[in-house]
Structures are given as structure tokens and as C-alpha cells.
Amino acid sequence: MPDLSLPGPIDRLVRAVGGSEPDYVSDQGSHVYDVDHYDLALDYTVRTNRLVGAARADVVLREAASEIEFDLDGLTVTEVRIDGGRVRRWRARGAKLVVPLGGKTEVGHRMQVTVFYSGHPGPRTGPWGEVGFEELTDGALVAAQPDGAPTWFPCNDRPSSRATYRIAVTTEAIYTVVANGELVSRTRASSRATSVYDNPTPTAPYLATIQVGRYGAIEPDGLETDDVPQTVHVPDRLRRRAAHDFGRQPQMMRLFSGLFGPYPFSRYDVVVTDDALEIPLEAQSLSIFGSNHADGRRHSERLVAHELAHQWFGNAVGLARWRDIWLNEGFACYAEWLWWDHLGSRRVGATAEHYYAGLLEEPRDIVVSDPGTDLMFDDRVYKRGALALHAVRCAAGDDVFFDLVRGWVAAHLESVVTTDDFRAHLAATAPRLADVLSPWIDETALPPLPSRPRGGHARGRS
């Protein structure tokens, strides 16, 4: 998720991560079990905003339990099955679906839980505004960070419970459906069509998405690509603008692949909705932008860089807990600065000075490594997070810094991490680097601005 204040142009998955997070995402998720795979069969009618779903979760217990809870908000459950057998006494409790297991079940037990449900989906409102499933003027989208996934399917909605997905969406044939991963089939029956997507990479529920709209695709003829397939799905009226505004995305892909390591997924899709959106948002292997982000003048290009960088930081390398959100946003913000530097429009040192001056005018009452619920998406988490990385780079030099970044991604690919993991990674490179990081993320006082990085400008590796 980008901040809004920047200028325009210028088996590791299931490791225990102690405790729930009542102060960040209240009553969300369960540490009793994990889900290895979700199979979602959805029938959605745009005209009436009616969703009918069957969601199968392949569950493995992490604790002995007599019941488990799924997060599900605003939709009505009609039937629940475990391994094909009907469950008689499931119940709803607020935004939870409670499923009895028919007796005490031990750690490591596996089962398939299938939930049949329906309703008129909509976003949920919380400290971060409205998130989740949202109707558009002519279509729908899911933008679920941080707690909106239960608005469209029953899930274990915590960032450390990552699963693979198969998502099948049936809707009116005039609409295009875009979801995470690869489109494996699209079949039409009368006036409706079913699109099936396979996503084989571990994905947190908040990063799963479906996008429904009247979209055309800008393919290689309209958007030059190289090794990584990239498609922009866009309404016809915005086609020319989007081709220009996302036209340098392949250059970004090459730059970031050199600086951060190989792109971690099989493809990258962008959806530009026909509606204006307050902010763009990342999903796994996919990003969502509004029509206002395609103005034909590249005024939102920093956001294009920001969302692409999240594919490495936040998606391939995921969060174990929300308090460490700076690991996602600090890296994505710093990637914007690296892109400007690559273009030669503003060197990283000058960008750091600019935003440091802005932080001097802000209250110093936030701890970036544990900002709390209300401040987890505060602009200072982004800027101080980026400046923390810049400080480490200045202390380490370019070669060491980008080697440790590539090593960080490679070591934790398809896993979840904490700030302490990152400290340990820095300390393994050079103990002093963890000490450089700490004042930026663990203290409210603003450290001195670091010197410019040694070793020239980062250009990536081909």
C-alpha cells in the first residue's frame, strides 16, 4: 500500500510466530491451524452484486482442537462439510464461522473443510477505512489489505498463514476476470463465462484478489516486455494513457530484478479500473490502480514502482505479523527513490535529504518497528523505513548493501519474516549494520541524516 504524500513526477511457512495480534487486527485469524490450499468456486453477478461461493480449505492443525474458526464477514453460510461429510452444528459468531471437528483432534491432523455461502459482498470498515470486496460502477474488485479477505471467502486471515490457490469465477461473459497467478482456462456457456486461475505460490489471504470489469489487455505489442510476462488490463477509453503511463514498467522490472534478485513469480499483471481509486494496492503477482492513476503523463509512475517492488517485499517475502509492516513499505518506498535515481531525475541522496527535512516537521511519537493499529500505515513508517535502509546502505556501501538485499530475498523466498529476522540478517553481514538500523525503527527521536552511499549509483545487474 503506498503512502499519499509523495510528489508525482519528480516446511518454513508454518513456523510458529508467537501469539495473536489483538492490538493490530482485532479478533482476526487463528493460530490453531494453517491452510495449505484454497479452492474457490465463485459465481458472481455484476448486475445484482450477488455472490454464491463454495470454498474448500485444506487445513492442517497446529494445536489439538475440538473446533476451528474461519474469518467470514457479511456473507451467509448455508452448508459446511469436512472431508465430504456434512457438519450439523456449525455456527456464526460475529465475523467468525465456528466449525466443530467432532471430538478432540491432534496436532498435524489434516482435513478438507468446504463452506458453501452466498450474499451481497461489500467492504468492511475499520481503522484503515473500507477494505475488501468493493462494487465498481461496472464491475468489482478486491483490495483486502490488511483485513478485507473475509468479505469474499472464508479464510484464516492472518499474514503468516499462506496458501496456494485455485480460483474459478463465473460471471457475465461481457466482463473480464483477473485473479492471482496464471489463467488456465476460460469457458463460455450462454451469457456467462468461467475463468479459472491457478496460483501455486504461497499467498496470504490479504494478497488474494479477483478483479471484474470490461477490460482489454495491453500485451507485448502495446507494452514492451522481456523475460517476465506483463499485462495491463484496462478499459478501452484508458488504453492509450495506460500504455504510456506503464510503458517503462519493463525497465523497472529489469532494474529491480538486478537490485533485489529475480522476479519471484511467473508473471505480473496490472489492473486499471474504470473508477478512480484513492490509492493503488498490491496483490500477489498483481497490482490494482484507478483511472486517476492513468492520466497519460506518468504523474503516478512512482506508484507503479512502489507496487511492483511489493512483489519482492511483502509478497514473495511476507510478514509474520502486522507490526513489522515497515519491512514491506520501507523497501517499496526506497524502490521509488531507486527508480528516480535510475532515471537521473533525482539522486537517492537528494531524495533522502528532502524527506528527512519533511520528517523534521512531523511529530516524533512513532516507533516504526511497532507503530500500533492506528499508525501502521502512517507516512512516517514509509519514510523512516526507507531512510533506515538508506542509512544501512550508506554504512555498508553499495556492493555490500545490494548483496545483502538480494540475500535477504533469496533466504526468505516464499516464507514469512519479522524485524528481528532482518536484524539477524544484517548482523550476519556486519554486526554494526544492525546498530545502524535500530535508531531509525526502534526509537522516536530522529537520528542524524546519513551520508551519501559509497560506490556510485545503483543500476542493477543484467
Residue 110 — pLDDT band, cuts 50, 70, 90? Answer: very high
Is there a single domain that holds both residue 242 and residue 115? no
Residue 219 — pLDDT band, cuts 50, 70, 90? Answer: confident
Is the residue at 398 inside a domain?
Answer: yes
Q: How many domains does the chain have?
A: 3
Is there a single domain that holds both residue 292 and residue 366? no
Known binder of ligand: residue 31? no
What span, in angstroms and rounded, lies between the C-alpha atoms of 414 and 218?
A: 29
Cell numbers placing 404: 545483502
Q: Which residue has the higher pLDDT, 60 or 462?
A: 60
Out of 253, 287, 311, pick the residue that ends a domain: 311
Is the residue at 454 inside a domain?
Answer: no
Residue 157 in contact with residue 129, Cβ under 8 Å?
Answer: no
pLDDT of 26 reads: 75
Residue 461 — pLDDT band, cuts 50, 70, 90? Answer: very low
Out of 213, 244, 259, pick the residue that ends a domain: 213
Is there a single domain that holds both residue 347 and residue 433? yes
pLDDT of 7 reads: 33
Residue 220 — pLDDT band, cuts 50, 70, 90? Answer: low
pLDDT of 5 reads: 39
Lowest mean pLDDT among 255-259, 366-370, 428-432: 428-432
In three-state form (DSSP H/G/I as H, E/B as E, the rest C), the secondary structure along 31-78 is CCEEEEEEEEEEEEECCCCEEEEEEEEEEEECCCEEEEEEECCCCEEE
Is the residue at 399 inside a domain?
Answer: yes
pLDDT of 226 reads: 67
Residue 14 has pLDDT above 50, yes or no: no
Is there a single domain that holds both residue 58 and residue 41? yes
Percent over 90 (pLDDT), the chain: 88
Is the residue at 9 inside a domain?
Answer: no
Is there a single domain that holds both residue 286 and residue 403? no
pLDDT of 222 reads: 63
Is there a single domain that holds both residue 305 and residue 321? no
Is there a single domain that holds both residue 151 and residue 242? no
pLDDT of 377 reads: 97
Residue 312 has pLDDT above 80, yes or no: yes
Is there a single domain that holds both residue 244 and residue 177? no
Cell numbers placing 3: 503512502
Residue whose C-alpha is closest to residue 255's, from 333, 341, 351, 383: 341
Residue 209 has pLDDT above 80, yes or no: yes
pLDDT of 27 reads: 85
Task: Give the CATH number, domain containing residue 286.
Answer: 3.30.2010.30
Q: Which residue has the higher pLDDT, 38 or 28?
A: 38
Q: How open is the CA angle 212-274-339, to the nearest 5 degrees? A: 100
Residue 224 has pLDDT above 70, yes or no: no
pTM listed for this prediction: 0.93
Is there a single domain that holds both residue 242 and residue 333? no
- Stretch 132-145: mean pLDDT: 98
Q: Which residue has the higher pLDDT, 309 or 20?
A: 309
Known binder of ligand: residue 120? no
Task: Give the CATH number, domain containing residue 366.
Answer: 1.10.390.10
- Stretch 66-92: mean pLDDT: 97
Residue 462 has pLDDT above 80, yes or no: no
Out of 164, 188, 213, pick the residue that ends a domain: 213
Is the residue at 458 inside a domain?
Answer: no
User: What's the whole-number average pLDDT of the chain?
Assistant: 92
What span, in angstroms and rounded, lies between the C-alpha atoms of 329 and 319?
A: 11
Is the residue at 410 inside a domain?
Answer: yes
- Stretch 334-361: mean pLDDT: 97
> pLDDT for 244-299, tens place per residue?
999 999 999 999 999 999 999 999 999 999 999 999 999 999 999 999 999 999 99
Residue 8 has pLDDT above 60, yes or no: no
> pLDDT for 157-166, tens place per residue?
999 999 999 9
Is there a single domain that holds both residue 238 and residue 366? no
What span, in angstroms and rounded, lies between the C-alpha atoms of 380 and 371?
A: 10
Task: Give the CATH number, domain containing residue 207.
Answer: 2.60.40.1730
Q: Which of 4-8, 100-104, 115-119 has the highest mean pLDDT?
A: 115-119
Is the residue at 8 inside a domain?
Answer: no
Is there a single domain that holds both residue 323 and residue 305? no
Known binder of ligand: residue 329? yes
Is the residue at 174 inside a domain?
Answer: yes
Is there a single domain that holds both residue 48 and residue 154? yes
Range of the domain at 418: 317-442
